[in-house]
Amino acid sequence: MLRDLSYMLTYSSRLDDYSTLCRALLASSTIVLLLIIRWSSESIAIELTRLILVLSFEFYLASLARGLRGVLAGLKLISLFAIIGALVFCVSYLVGWLAPGPIMLVPGMLRLVSLFLGFSLLFQLVSFQEWRSILSKLGLKNQSVILSMVLSQVPTIIHYLSEAITTVKLKYKGKRLHKVATPLTLLSFLTSRALTESYIVYGLPTYSELTTYKRRDLSLYLLFVILVLLEIMISNLLPLLIEVA
């Protein structure tokens, strides 16, 4: 499950046919769209419909990079969090604690999955090298190097996390799983020191050329425009339809 997650944070060369601008724009616009939906939906029904539309668009983009099976595998872990959240929600409702009610469950879970998928698209659609170039063009050269240093080690850290969980679970008979934080913190220090040594030998990573337009971009832009139009239609027409009904 953790391994699948690490694939969700890596760029796939299947997307080389689309320009950097198109990929970066669509990945970031999707997150903006999700935030707009969160704060501008008048009812749960509207929010739900709009979320499903964006989620479908996210699935389409992610499957261009990973294939649909890869996306579903990567979403397993986050779905687990969503289910745990839902269970906590149900228990809170049953025992009478402050809980917004079971009807809020579905949009809550959808929000979590769509936001996770949205953020993962930032790294699935745009490579670290391209992010470095974009950030350095924005005047954030040092930050871009730090970001790529951190992100390049995410898969390794995920592997360590999986090993640490197995070990600590057996060591403490399934209890005190939070203790995995200690060896992982130490490993992070050791890794960062070794990484610095490797940068001295191999130098800092380079920047890639950013492309602004490729022919296949048009299809994605068109799809995004349709999505936005549908979103506008739903947010304006659906309240009227509900009122009439």
One-letter amino acid at 87 equals L
Q: In whole angstroms, what is the distance from residue 177 CA to residue 161 CA?
A: 11
Kindly give, in sequence order, each residue whose CB lies less than 8 Å from that of residue 153, ignoring residues fewer than 6 positions away.
191, 195
- Which residues inside 73-92 make contact with another protein, applying CB under 8 A? 73
- Going by the DSSP 8-state scheme, the letter that residue 18 receives in this structure is S
Q: Exposed/middle/buried for 41, CB within 10 Å: 0-12, 13-18, 19+?
A: buried
Q: Does 175 bind another protein (CB under 8 A)?
A: yes
Residue 141 as a binder of another protein (CB under 8 A): the answer is no
Choose one: 40-48, 84-92, 167-175, 236-244; the region binding another protein (CB under 8 A): 167-175
Name the CA radius of gyration of the chain, rounded: 21
Q: Which of 84, 88, 104, 193 binds another protein (CB under 8 A)?
A: 193
Residue 110 host element (H or E): helix 105-124
215 binds another protein (CB under 8 A): no
- Residue 96: left if φ>0, alpha if ψ -120 to 50, beta else—which one? left
The answer to whether 159 contacts another protein (rule: CB under 8 A) is: yes
Smallest separation (angstroms) from another protein to the CB of 165: 8
Q: Does the footprint of another protein cover residue 194 (CB under 8 A)?
A: yes
Q: Are 125 and 66 in contact (CB under 8 A)?
A: no
Q: Cα torsion at 64, 70, 74, 79 (round to 10°)? A: 90
Query: What is the smallest separation between the CB atom of 144 and another protein, expressed in angstroms?
Result: 12
For residue 143, state whether it binds another protein (rule: CB under 8 A): no
CA 8 to CA 100: how far, in whole Å? 32
Work out whether 171 is an interface residue with another protein (CB under 8 A).
yes
Does 129 bind another protein (CB under 8 A)? Our answer is yes
Give the residue, chosen from 105, 113, 180, 234, that forms a contact with another protein under the rule CB under 8 A: 180
Nearer to another protein, 92 or 211 (CB): 211
195 binds another protein (CB under 8 A): yes
Structure tokens at 200: 């001295």
Binding site for another protein (CB under 8 A): 4, 6-7, 10-11, 13, 69, 73, 127-129, 148-149, 152-153, 155-156, 159-160, 163-164, 166-173, 175-176, 179-180, 182-184, 186-187, 190-191, 193-198, 200-206, 208
